[in-house]
């Protein structure tokens, strides 16, 4: 997919590296992230290539771990100790091409079912993608996060690489993404850590990495032919 | 339609049933793909039902062993058991000339990336265990779009 993306739109190491470095910057602010040491472009380029152009650092961690969240009624939540975070939108989508034939027959190779789940969840919440303050995006590989940024509508088709190459997802960037360090630098526990971080950001409990005044968060889960989008508000 | 193909007789027992017609074809230096007799389209990988129309009326048909590279890479760290010592090696998704909407995952020759868009021929070579396997090689032709 990364090679096809590079063929159609161009994809520089500094762009995939931009996403990886931005994610690491966030992880450095999270005491529980597994990969917290600073990473610059030279460090990224020194990472061994697994399959061109993806390096070790473009691939998620492998982690044993667990997390949990509690979903209840607004009334019960209001009676609990923590600030209420509301599920304003939640949508699942599945590609018409099944996982079985996904890589061999998917007609539009660089766009996934996230396009549908994101549009649906945002419509449920009654907002647009520009209203998002913080996003926790399923980053199993750097390229899959870049492609989802396009499917979500954060960037246009083919513009995701340039977006992350400018460190737009880093602390202080245009859209804070994976503020816990994501699957790339926090941990790989199936993405539930993205939900936990999304809730913490909207509760304003993310301490040193808090996106100031964040009121709307977006979380995604992704598995080739399946995608899920969650919109959290306070 | 797929049973009783001579090429399948010599296949290793470990090859799953749904892939035996493909590997039986390869043993006879042919590429055969699953074909839906109802909607008359190829698909890949093989399935119990046509992914296009849902029909179970499926068979196998020979296609020309040629296509175009849709995507390609060089594997430098092989994750498939036993493939480690072969790395680096090239692989490609190849859109077949007779079924452009189907892409075969194929090894390419050597450790250089075959550029996307390159015309390729599928040749048949013996792997280390002596089994016949398909391989994509850059085609010495310039007759795209025929």
Quick check: A13 and A53 in contact, CB under 8 A? yes
Angle between helices A2-9 and A142-152 (to 10 degrees): 60
Q: For residue B143, what pLDDT band results from cuts at 50, 70 and 90?
A: low
d(CA A198, CA A16): 23
Lookup: tokens for A101: 């034939």
Contacts of A101 in chain B (CB under 8 A): 43-45, 47, 51
pLDDT of residue B140: 77
d(CA B52, CA B58): 12
A144-197: per-residue pLDDT in tens? 999 999 999 999 999 999 999 999 999 999 999 999 999 999 999 999 999 999
pLDDT of residue A147: 98
Quick check: A135 and A216 in contact, CB under 8 A? no
Distances from the Cα of A222 to the Cαs of A93, A118, B141, in angstroms?
10, 12, 41
Q: Do B71 and A4 touch (CB under 8 A)?
A: yes
Contacts of B75 in chain A (CB under 8 A): 50-51
d(CA A76, CA B38): 55
Q: Do B93 and A104 touch (CB under 8 A)?
A: yes
Contacts of A1 in chain B (CB under 8 A): 71
pLDDT of residue A145: 98
Mean pLDDT, chain A, whole residue set: 97
The CA-based dihedral angle spanning residues A86, A88, A94, A95, taken in that order and rounded to the nearest 10 degrees = -130
A104: nearest CB among B45, B73, B116:
B45
Q: For residue B6, what pLDDT band results from cuts at 50, 70 and 90?
A: low
Question: Which residues does A contribute to its contact with B (CB < 8 Å)?
Answer: 1-4, 7, 48-53, 97-98, 100-101, 103-105, 107, 109
d(CA A204, CA A84): 11
Average pLDDT over residues A71-89: 96
B100 touches chain A (CB under 8 A): no
A97-151: per-residue pLDDT in tens? 988 899 999 999 999 999 999 999 999 999 999 999 999 999 999 999 999 999 9
Q: Which residue has the higher pLDDT, B140 or A40?
A: A40
Q: Do A50 and B116 touch (CB under 8 A)?
A: no
B89 touches chain A (CB under 8 A): no
pLDDT of residue B142: 59
d(CA A193, CA A178): 10
d(CA A89, CA A91): 7
Residue in B18, B22, B48, B51 to test binding to A, most A beta-carbons within 10 Å: B51
pLDDT of residue B146: 45
B111-131: per-residue pLDDT in tens? 899 999 999 999 999 988 899
- pTM (predicted TM-score): 0.94
CB neighbours of residue A180 within 10 Å: 25
B83 touches chain A (CB under 8 A): no
Q: For residue B3, what pLDDT band results from cuts at 50, 70 and 90?
A: very low
ipTM above 0.90, yes or no: yes
3-state secondary structure chain A: CHHHHHHHHCCCHHHHHHHHHHHHHHHCCCCCCCCCCCCCHHHHHCCCEEECCEEHHHECCCCCCCCCCCCCCHHHHHCCCCCCCEEEEEEEEECCCCHHHHHHHCCCCCCCCHHHHHHHHHHHHCCCHHHCCEEECCCCEHHHHHHHHHHHCCCCCCCHHHHHHCCCCCCCCCCCECCCCHHHHHCCCCCHHHHHHHHHHHHCCCHHHCCCCCCEEEEEEEECCEEEEEEEEC
> Pairing state of beta strands A86-94 and A226-233?
antiparallel
Angle between helices A114-125 and A142-152 (to 10 degrees): 50
A3-46: per-residue pLDDT in tens? 999 999 999 999 999 999 999 999 999 999 999 999 999 999 99
């Amino acid at each position: 997919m990364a090679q096809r993306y590079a063929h159609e739109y161009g994809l520089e190491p500094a762009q995939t590296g931009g996403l990886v470095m931005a994610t690491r910057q966030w992880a450095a602010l999270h005491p529980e992230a597994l990969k917290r040491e600073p990473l610059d472009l030279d460090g990224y380029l020194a990472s061994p290539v697994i399959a061109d152009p993806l390096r070790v650092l473009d691939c998620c961690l492998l982690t044993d771990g667990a997390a949990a969240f509690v979903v209840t009624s607004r009334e019960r939540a209001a009676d609990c100790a923590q600030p209420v975070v509301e599920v304003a939108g939640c949508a699942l989508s599945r590609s018409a091409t099944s996982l079985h034939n996904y890589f061999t027959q998917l007609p539009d190779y660089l766009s996934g079912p996230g396009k549908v789940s994101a549009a649906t969840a945002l419509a449920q919440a009654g907002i647009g993608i520009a209203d998002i303050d913080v996003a926790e995006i399923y980053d199993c590989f750097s390229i899959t996060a870049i492609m989802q940024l396009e499917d979500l509508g954060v960037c246009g088709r083919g513009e995701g690489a340039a977006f992350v190459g400018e460190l737009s997802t880093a602390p202080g960037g245009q859209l804070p993404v994976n503020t816990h360090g994501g699957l790339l630098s926090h941990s790989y526990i199936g993405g539930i850590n993205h939900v936990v971080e999304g809730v913490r950001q909207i509760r304003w409990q993310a301490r040193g990495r808090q996106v100031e005044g964040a009121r709307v968060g977006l979380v995604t889960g992704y598995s080739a032919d399946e995608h899920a989008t969650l919109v959290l508000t306070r | 339609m797929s049973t009783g193909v001579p090429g399948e007789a010599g296949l290793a027992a470990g090859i799953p049933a749904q892939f035996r017609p493909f590997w039986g074809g390869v043993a006879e230096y042919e590429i055969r793909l699953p074909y839906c007799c109802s909607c008359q389209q190829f698909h890949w990988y093989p399935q119990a039902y046509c992914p296009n129309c849902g029909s179970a009326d499926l068979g196998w048909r020979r296609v020309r062993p040629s296509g175009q590279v849709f995507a390609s890479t060089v594997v430098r760290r092989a994750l498939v058991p036993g493939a480690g010592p072969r790395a680096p090696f090239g692989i490609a998704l190849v859109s077949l000339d007779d079924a452009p909407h189907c892409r075969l995952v194929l090894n390419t020759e050597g450790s250089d990336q075959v550029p996307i868009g390159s015309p390729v021929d599928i040749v048949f070579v013996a792997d280390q265990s002596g089994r016949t396997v398909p391989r994509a090689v850059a085609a010495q032709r310039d007759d795209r779009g025929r």
